[in-house]
Every structure is written in structure tokens, then in C-alpha cells.
Amino acid sequence: GAWIGIVGGGQLGRMSAVAAARLGYKVHILSDSTPSPASETSAKLTVGSYDDLTCLEGFARSCDVITFEFENISAAGLKHLAQFCPVHPSGHILETSQDRIAEKTMLQSHGLPVAPWREITGPEGLKDLPSFGFPCILKTTRFGYDGKGQFRLADEAAFQDILTKADQLPYPLVAEQQINFAREISVMVVRGTDGTVRCFDVAENHHRDGILRVSIAPALVMPDLAERAQALATQLAEKLELVGIMGVELFEEQNGQLLVNEIAPRPHNSGHWTMNACLVDQFEMHIRAVTGLPLPPARRHSDAYMHNLIGPDDMALLPEILREENASVHLYGKEEARPGRKMGHVNRIFPRGGMPGSMVLTHYKPALD
């Protein structure tokens, strides 16, 4: 079989590798650390720096196509890989998603709405933040994940507090208006080499401490809102000439307007529910897309409630969860259950239409708060 190279050794690489193996491909993982979740599920492993050009060349020469489970490889590294092997999604999309300023600018250039934002280049700009308004969120421009590198400024007092540390902040920063959203939702959109676009059903997402905790599919939204979200994701996939899968994170405002929070051109945690609620899940769709295989409709046969297993507290619940009759457990093979670390997830699956919102609210929602 052909070789698929995956840059990154995390759980997204692990689950992509399993999907690739199912389709008869061999997987070569490039990871900067070992052991990693993906090293256990791949045929070949290279451990090296994502910036080491010799290492990247050796990796790329051994692959027939390369993809990513991880977005933070340098632009130079990307260009180097692409000299020796096709790379999907393209380096251009990856570079845009690495940088919140480039990302927001791109979204706005395509007419897509984002939360009001402002670039803050240094301490002087920070001093001027009251003219932008509160509450707002300061975010690092690059390398943020799971809400890391974010400071919430509720009011003038919180702002005065951060001003005392103005010289130590990692500029440039992005200030975003804190949106009092009705809901957070996301769409997984996939586009093939022939231009076929498929969207999975919209998921509703709940975060705790900046980390995704629960995704519910389908999202309990008005049908027209789900359609608008999918149309927006489709438009974006086409404009970007995406090849592969991409997560589009959205806020639904109180008035029903949609804002794009960010994009992730790779499989996404809020798409893990597809592993048990769809015949072809997000990982298989991604592998099919980057290898030029046909993309079937992203059909959902069941309702799903995905719950991340985060840190030691959630892992302690595992014996109970394993007793449940409609729970499918996916573990990432990480040894140490540190607080805040994603160790796995559980998909609770119900017949289509069998997961009323009231059940979610009464049975599971309290566990979120």
C-alpha cells in the first residue's frame, strides 16, 4: 500500500492512522517526542524536530502524501516538505490558521463575520484598550490551544491589573470582544481533490476552563441555523481550496447571527462524535480526501454525546463508563493523567432522534457545571 505521512504524534494522528490502516495504507508518523499516542498505531515513526530540514526531507521522501494532525510547523518546514511530496491541506491554509491575525483577516476578506477584534502590537497599544471596550479577551497570536495564552478582561479593574505586567506580555496580541453567545457550535467540512465538499452535522460544544468538554450532535438548533453554518463552512472550504478536513468553530449570537471563532484544518476534537455516529467518520473522511478516494455523504445514523476524559478525575470514572451499554470508549494511550490533559473520550450513542435536549440538560449538563 501507499505511505501516508502524518506530521504530529498526538491523538488526532493516532486516530487518523487507524482510519488509514483500515483503508489499506501504511502510516509514517513524524513526531518531536516519544512515546506518543500515534507511535503505537503507525507502521513507521521518525522522531525529530519539525524544523530540522534534513529530517523533514527524509520523512517526505518516504511518503506518497503528507498531512498534519498538528498546526505549528514553521512556514520554512512546510515549504521544504512540499518540495519532495504532495502536502494536504496546503501550507497556505496551515499558515493562515497558525496566526489569529492572518486567520481573521482571511475570514473577513471572504465576507465572513468574526467577533470585533484589534491587533495589539505592544504596551502602547495595550494602554489604549479601554477605547476598544470591555469585557474582552486577549489572545496570543500564535500557538494557543485549549484556551492557553488567553486573558479575560472583564472590566476596567482587570485591565488596570494587566497593565502592571504590560512589559512582559507576548506581543503581538489580539483583543477580541467577549461574545455573550447563545451557543458554541462547530462544523466539520471536508473537501476532496476533485472539489467534492461534504459537511457533517453541526455539533454543539461546551467548554470548561477553556477546554472542550462535551460535543452534542446534532446541535439543538433551528434547522436554518444549522444550514447557514454548513453553507458558511462549505464556502470557506471552497475559497481556501481545501483538500482534507477542517473544523470551523462558530459562535451563535443571541440574535441568531453566526460569528467564526477559528478554523482548524485537520480532524478536530468536536468531530470525535462521528467515530460512532457515522459510517464514515471524520478521520476516514480526511484520509479519503488527502488520498483522492471518493467522499461519501457525511451521513449521521445516530445521535451522539461526546465527553472528553480530561485528567485524573475523569479517568477515575472509566470503570463506571465501561459498564454503560451505549458508551464507546476511546483512549489515547497517554501514561500520565495530568490535570487538564486529554486522555481519551467517550461517545454515548442514541438512536437518531432519541437524544432529546431535555435529557441532555437534566442528565448530563449538571456534570458540566
Q: CB of residue 108 vs ligand ATP: minimum separation in angstroms?
A: 15
Q: Which of 210, 296, 311, 333 binds ligand ATP (CB under 6 A)?
A: 210
Binding-site member from 47, 64, 262, 296 for ligand ATP (CB under 6 A) = 262
**Residues linked to residue 30 through DSSP beta bridges, in sequence order:** 7, 46
Is residue 315 within 8 Å of residue 337, measured between CB atoms?
Answer: yes
Q: What CA–CA distance (Å, rounded) separates 201 from 298?
A: 8
Taking the complex as a whole, how short is the minimal distance between the CB of residue 248 and ligand ATP, in angstroms?
Answer: 11
Rounded CA-CA distance 229/210 in Å is: 22
Q: Are 85 and 28 in contact (CB under 8 A)?
A: no
Lookup: cell for 240: 481556501
- Applying CB under 6 A, among 22, 127, 165, 207 the residue interacting with ligand ATP is 207
Cβ proximity of 277 and 328 under 8 Å? no
CB of 139 to Mg ion, least distance (A): 9
Alpha helices in the chain (DSSP H): 11-22, 53-61, 75-84, 91-98, 100-109, 123-127, 156-163, 223-239, 274-277, 282-291, 311-315, 318-323, 357-359
Instruction: Say whether residue 93 binds ligand ATP (CB under 6 A).
Output: no
- The residue (of 113 and 147) whose beta carbon lies closer to ligand ATP is 147
Residues belonging to the binding site for ATP are: 100, 139, 144-150, 176-179, 184, 207, 261-262
Contact between 230 and ligand ATP by CB under 6 A: the answer reads no
Contact residue for ligand ATP among 32, 69, 103, 176 (CB under 6 A): 176
Q: Which of residues 256-275 bind Mg ion (CB under 5 A)?
A: 262
- Which C-beta is closer to ligand ATP: that of 31 or that of 261? 261
The reply on whether position 146 binds ligand ATP by CB under 6 A is yes
| One residue of 48, 113, 144, 311 binding ligand ATP per CB under 6 A | 144
Which positions from 72 through 91 interact with ligand ATP, judged by CB under 6 A?
A: none
Cβ 68 vs Cβ 243: under 8 Å: no
Q: Which does 115 bind (CB under 5 to 8 A by kind): ligand ATP, Mg ion, none?
A: ligand ATP
**Residue 178 touches which of Mg ion, ligand ATP, none (Cβ within 5-8 Å per kind):** ligand ATP
Between 72 and 178, whose beta carbon lies closer to ligand ATP? 178
How far is C-alpha 80 from the chain's CA centre? 25
Distance set, CA 138 to CA 49, 118, 124, 131, 264 (Å): 30, 10, 15, 14, 20
Task: Please give the residue ranges that form the binding site for ligand ATP (CB under 6 A).
Answer: 115, 137, 144-148, 176, 178-179, 184, 207, 210, 249, 261-262
